């Protein structure tokens, strides 16, 4: 397990994704044929009661791969950009 989980591992045990094949959450691509898997993973995340904790972790960790908290890596790049203070 990734050492970045240390600060709070409880949410990981409660993830809805634990009922699914982990590969679904790591599609080869979020475009083309992989897009369907990414959308299905995001649909699972929408049912997940620890979605916010998961997304917070992925944003803090800068997780570059996979669907976390209902977001793809591209989604998270946009979110991080929007959350960062504007450069002066």
Return residues touching ligand SF4 (CB under 6 A). Answer: 15-17, 25, 44-45, 48, 50-51, 54, 67-70
Pick the closest to residue 12 from 56, 43, 42, 46 (CA basis).
Answer: 56
Shortest gap between Cβ of 41 and ligand SF4 (angstroms)? Answer: 7
* Residue closer to ligand SF4 (CB basis): 38 or 50: 50
Pick the closest to residue 38 from 19, 8, 13, 17 (CA basis).
Answer: 17
Does the annotation flag 17 for ligand binding?
yes
Give the DSSP letter of residue 68.
B
* Residue closer to ligand SF4 (CB basis): 38 or 67: 67
Report the alpha-carbon distance of residue 7 to residue 19 in Å, rounded.
24
Does the annotation flag 67 for ligand binding?
no
């Amino acid at each position: 397990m990734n050492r970045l989980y240390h600060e709070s591992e409880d949410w990981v045990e409660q993830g809805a994704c634990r009922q699914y094949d982990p590969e679904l959450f790591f599609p080869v691509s979020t475009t083309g044929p992989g897009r369907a898997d990414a959308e299905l993973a995001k649909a699972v995340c929408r049912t997940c009661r620890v979605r916010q904790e998961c997304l917070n972790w992925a944003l803090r960790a800068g997780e570059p791969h996979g669907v976390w908290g209902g977001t793809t890596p591209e989604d998270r790049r946009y979110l991080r950009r929007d959350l960062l203070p504007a450069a002066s």
